[in-house]
Amino acid sequence: MEHYDLCVIGGGPAGYAAAMRAIDLGKRTLLVERDRIGGTGIFNGALASKTLWEIAHRVSSTNELMRTRGREPFRLSWEEVSKTMNEAVFERKYLYACHMQLLSNTTEGAPLFKHERGTGRLIDTNTVRIERTGFAEEVRADQIIIATGSRPRSVPDIIVDEEYILTSDGIFSIESLPKSIVIIGAGVIGCEFATIFCNLGATRVHLIDRADRILPFEDVDVSELVARNLERKGVIIHRSAKLDRIAVVDSEVEYAISYTDGRTETVRVEKALLSVGRTPNVEGLGLVAAGVETDPKTGLIRVDDTRTSQPNIHVVGDATATNMLVNLGEMEGRHAVERIWAERSGALSYDNVSTIMFLDPEVAGVGMNEQECRKRGIAYRMARIDYSCLARAIAMRSTKGFFKVLVTNDADMRVLGMRAVGEHASSAIEAVALMMRLGIPIRELADLVHPHPSITEGVQECARMLLGTSIFKPGIFEDRMQCYTWSPDVASMVAA
């Protein structure tokens, strides 16, 4: 029976990162994957959907210009769109395949890495059985990491056929752009696909939201700007709506909704996308045989940091049922390995994690937003500047968006959080994320010399506004700039 220092079950972003970190530390590592290396980080997820977003964004930007010149809109067929998406997926997949092949065939002694295709199942705390058609093998490992990912969450009363009613996995297999689609769920994934389809310009999009606004975890100014832009492009947002019924009728999707004010509505569309989150793949792992504790109600693995009840068995990525993001999965995978062999004693911190939502406009964030600060009763100072005040945004002819920076309400003014909404949003937050990690006060950002013209000058202006030294004064441009203090003692905002 083969013996390894580490066996990783699952080759998505978290599992692959864990395996590579173990190799760094000189550990003999086996990576078991039943399907495709890269998981939802490449296929039916991050890379595929973001490639679609990039294509749709370019189509939309082109058509904005075409409209101002009185020209016919530019259109791409789904065949053309999916061809580009598949090319991107292949490039990334090929990179992984070459990397693993070279790692497995190293000529300097016995290779540290091996990839085995198949389904991994725990036989006991140190034994994994690997199975695929016509093949079965058992291996032993000192340490085991479960990184089995997730799948789209189902809803009991909705029958998904992946032809008319689709999940966020099945949507990539459509044969043509639908003339109309209803998206059930107005969280990040639902809003991203609403953005993609409306930007491509061939699909009438309906978005069902149980809450009174989309993206309810974000501040009102963020969610309202995204909603306005979606509606401007023809998206119908059913706010405060409950889905009462959905079914395939005469080769169309018919759905009925009811509103909190008693109104009801029945609508027919070509397709439906069910986008209500994801659920971990933890079935059939042999958790009972290995003595791994699970929650009796949910069946999910009980996790402390990345450890299970068995000290040599660990869980990372979507399988933990929390924080289902590629960058966090990779962080967890590396962290689990470092806890085992690199004497990393501290618990994993999710503070100040940078995030991005591919919407219209792009939304990026780090740290807390205003509603989180208020919920926790944390006093803060806030500065916000619109893109319409930034030379680079004006030059790009893309002035939808804003920067918003929150700092502590004291002399140090250390950063609590930031939101960037608009072009280049994800690039603009990293300096602030580093400041938060190092505890650097906002005045250091104000003193930096930024390139001109650049979007990041807007972040600097927020810092200057908080210090009372901005070039444009918020008291003059009240419709484009804001600066105020919020305190739970008075539960109000005071202009700076």
Same domain, 8 and 142: yes
Same domain, 191 and 211: yes
Please compute the mean of the pLDDT values over residues 363-390 and round it to a whole number: 96
**CATH number for position 441:** 3.30.390.30
Q: Is residue 405 part of a domain?
A: yes
Range of 465's domain?
361-495
**CATH number for position 316:** 3.50.50.60
Q: Is residue 478 part of a domain?
A: yes
Select from 276, 303, 332 the last residue of a domain: 276
Same domain, 209 and 331: no
Same domain, 114 and 191: no
Q: Is residue 101 part of a domain?
A: yes
67-98 tens-digit pLDDT: 777 788 889 999 999 999 999 999 999 999 99
Q: Is the pLDDT of residue 252 over 60?
A: yes
Select from 252, 276, 300 the last residue of a domain: 276
Select from 246, 276, 306 the last residue of a domain: 276
333-345 tens-digit pLDDT: 999 999 999 888 7
Q: Is residue 67 part of a domain?
A: no
Helix axes 188-200, 220-232, angle to 10 degrees: 30
Quick one: what percent of the chain has pLDDT higher than 90?
A: 82
Same domain, 287 and 406: no
Same domain, 289 and 271: no
8-26 tens-digit pLDDT: 999 999 999 999 999 999 9
Same domain, 133 and 203: no
Same domain, 271 and 289: no
Same domain, 463 and 397: yes
Q: Is residue 51 part of a domain?
A: no
Q: Is residue 62 part of a domain?
A: no
Q: Is residue 78 part of a domain?
A: no
Please compute the mean of the pLDDT values over residues 431-459 and round it to a whole number: 90
Please compute the mean of the pLDDT values over residues 302-326 and round it to a whole number: 95
Same domain, 235 and 193: yes
Same domain, 264 and 400: no
Q: Is residue 454 part of a domain?
A: yes
pLDDT at 58: 94
Same domain, 292 and 416: no
Number of domains in the chain: 3
